[in-house]
Structure 1
Amino acid sequence: MVKTIGEVAAELGIEAHVLRHWEDVGALTVRRDHHGYRVYDDKAVEQARTVLKLRRVGLSLPEATAAMAPKKSSAQAAVRAKIAELAGEVVQRQEAITFLQHTVECRHRYLDDCPECATFVREA
């Protein structure tokens, strides 16, 4: 079964121009009919769905394109790089939570008066 760009966009909850852009940058391959209109077969719809999911989990469009590379090792390398980046962000967020939690519970009136807060600040 084939679908139009509008049908696919509606199904995925995105604008048609987004699908056109993905095609323009090489993240999506869509065939054309004899009139030049985009025709989305099941494979193209699944490819668009994959790009959308990768974008929603935090990959940039170039990263998503790399994660869909035909060569599995290349795709895995792109995904591993993103995992490492996200893991680093998790560590930074956890450190921020720890610091902020301490400031909420700190018995000192001013953060400058607290040796633990000073230690957190110096670790930046």
Structure 2
Amino acid sequence: MKARCVMQTIGEAAAELGVAAHVLRHWEEVGALTVRRDGNGYRIYDETALEQARTVLKLRRVGLSLPEVVAAMAPKKRDAQAVVRAKIASLQREVVRRQQAIVFLQHTVECRHRYLDDCPDCAQFVRDA
């Protein structure tokens, strides 16, 4: 098993995280990521920076926009929680919309009418949308 490197270049960090180097630069630019620089100005990804990048990546993968990620990583827990609570509410609304879409689509598959316009149930689904 290969020993884990404590310090990584941007290319090494990007490869480990599965993102492009420009993505890490952008995250740093917008304030989602803090990365130390060496004496020559090169970015040095230590374990703290990598963990922060993993957090940004996870938050992005669960649906937060980059501004939401920055806000969710705010130093004040109350501020961060407000952003996360708002995202939870948004995702819950999306789940309801998706469930309604599934019900509608299941009905259209099973509908006995040749054309959906002929079906009173389909018409009701459309009116309720």
- TM-score, normalising length from structure 2? 0.92
What is aligned with 1:73?
78
Looking at structure 2, the residues matched to 41 and 111 of structure 1 have their Cα atoms a distance apart, in angstroms, of 59
How much has 1:117 moved relative to structure 2? 1.3
Give the equivalent residue in structure 2 for 1:104. 109
2:53 matched to which residue of 1? 48
Match of 2:29 in 1: 24
Correspondence 1:82-101 to 2 at 5 A: 82-101=87-106
Identity of aligned residues (%): 78
Match of 2:34, SS? coil
AA of the residue aligned to 1:88: R
Which aligned segments of 4 or more residues in structure 1 are displaced greater than 4 angstroms? none
Aligned-pair Cα RMSD in Å:
1.0
Following superposition, the deviation at residue 66 of structure 1 comes to 1.0
**Structure 2, unaligned stretches of length 5 or more?**
1-5
User: How many correspondences in the alignment?
Assistant: 124
Contiguous gaps of at least 5 residues in structure 1: none
The residue identity in structure 2 corresponding to 1:116 is: D
Q: Structure 1 residue 100: deviation in Å?
A: 1.0
